[in-house]
Amino acid sequence: MGGLGVKAAPFTYVAHILAVAAAVLVLVWCIHFRGGLAFESSNKNLIFNLHPVLMLIGFIILGSEAIMAYKVLPWSRDVTKAIHLVLHGIAIVLGIFGIYCAFKNHNESGIANLYSLHSWLGISTISLYTIQWIFGFVTFFVPGAAPNFKRGALPWHVLFGLFVYILALATAQLGFLEKLTFLESSGLEKYGTEAFLVNFTALIVVLFGASVVVAAVAPAQIEETPGYSPLPDN
Ligand code: HEM
């Protein structure tokens, strides 16, 4: 999509800065404000805290790096393809583990499962992401698919991939909103430091996602249109 008239590189730089900011903020929130992270604890909130950390850093940020791999890595297409596949694979594993932590917290605290829009979209996101990964692996990585089939499948892989990615971003937004609303209904100050921190983290995730999507659709290099000559100044 050379028509955007911008190169991917500046958007990948912005994305990296926002990724670091979002990762730091979610860690400060869960560790400093919410008491820390634990897989086994009598304080079940600490088990829950693993959920936003793993979903944001493990699933969304690693998945974003996988998406941008083609625009940032200088290596051959085959090496970059392998890195794209492996990073998405790790993102899926960490995402599944993050969701497991939310279920573990619910089960050990006697809270019902899968009652919210966030949880329904969450299950849909991780399922579609895994289907997309398997389809991509079979089509583009395992040798044997007909070149014509690969060529035809690529635009759908890109389109469906971006759709699932945006779904993941939207699900995370609902997650932040839901958790903050729970906390505010149990007494957290609405204009307090923690409420601002959570809302700002979610805003940074929106900007981060936007820069990743632009980096994904913008070309690595802008190609000159054949026969193009600039208009004269006067
Ligand atoms: C794309 C990223 C995410 C996915 C795929 C996802 C998925 C899920 C799923 C499937 C559940 C249901 C667990 C159960 O029913 O036992 C859940 C619960 C929950 N998640 Fe997330 N989540 C994501 C990100 C986040 C983030 C960033 C937060 C921010 C705090 C969050 C907050 C919550 C909360 C509060 C619950 C418990 C209430 C509920 O089930 O809706 N999630 N998540």
CA of 116 to the centre of ligand 1 (A): 9
Q: Which two tokens stand for residue 147?
A: 């070149």
CB of 58 within 6 A of ligand 1: the answer is no
pLDDT, the chain, mean: 94
How high is the pLDDT of residue 222?
74
Residues of the chain with confidence (pLDDT) below 70 = 1-2, 223-234
Q: Which residues contact 68 (CB under 8 A, 6 or more apart)?
A: 8, 12, 15, 212, 215, 216
Nearest CA to ligand 1 atom 43: 119
How far, in Å, CA of 101 to CA of 117, rounded? Answer: 18
Q: Which two tokens stand for residue 166?
A: 């945006």
Three-state SS for 227?
Answer: coil
How far, in Å, CA of 209 to CA of 11, rounded? Answer: 11
CB of 103 within 6 A of ligand 1: the answer is yes
Report yes or no: 83 and 210 within 8 Å, Cβ to Cβ: no
pTM, to two decimals: 0.94
Report yes or no: 120 and 178 within 8 Å, Cβ to Cβ: no
Ligand 1 site-directed mutation target among 28, 101, 119, 181, most atoms within 8 Å of CB = 119
How high is the pLDDT of residue 223?
66
Letter string b/e over residues 100-129, b meaning 16 or more CB atoms within 10 A of that residue's CB:
ebbebbbeeeeeeeeeeebbebbeebbebb
- Locate the ligand 1 atom nearest the alpha carbon of residue 178 and give its number: 35
How high is the pLDDT of residue 224?
54
- Locate the ligand 1 atom nearest the alpha carbon of residue 171 and give its number: 1
CA of 108 to the centre of ligand 1 (A): 16
